Amino acid sequence: MRTIAVVTILALAVLPAAAQTVVPIQVSPAVIVLGAPVAWVTVHADIPYGSVSTASIELNGLAVSWTKADSRGDLVAKFDFDDVTASITTPSVTFTLTGLTKTGDAFEGSATVRVRQR
């Protein structure tokens, strides 16, 4: 008696996630002083302001307070200082700015800054 085995091979195609554009960012203030009388954490990003869907912008999951273009036409994003500093500790924090362009492409940029007590 012959036994015939039937094997079904299922190939799963795993599509890579859409590539994110990495943009350089600069965070101001360059040193976060917890409890300082500062209104904003400002992020300058090397991406054209006109190409960004400003409502999508976040910094470490916090929504942007307001945006503008700098003198070169690049994105400047402002975040409430108290909201940003509510969950960070010394000696440093890595901030990650994320967002979408108006065409739906994701972008992100990260920078690490020092954190100290007042």
Token look-up 């409890």 returns 35
Q: Where are the domains of the chain?
A: 26-117
- When mean pLDDT is compared across 14-18, 27-31, 85-89, the lowest value belongs to 14-18
Q: CATH for 26-117?
A: 2.60.40
pTM more than 0.95 = no
- Give mean pLDDT, residues 96-113: 98
Report d(CA 105, CA 95) in Å as an integer.
20
Q: What are phi and psi of 7, to 5 degrees?
A: -115, 125
Q: What are the tokens at 26?
A: 């600069």
User: pLDDT (tens digit, 9 = 90+) per residue, 64-102?
Assistant: 999 999 999 999 999 999 999 999 999 999 999 999 999
Q: What is the dihedral sign for C-alpha 65, 69, 71, 73?
A: positive
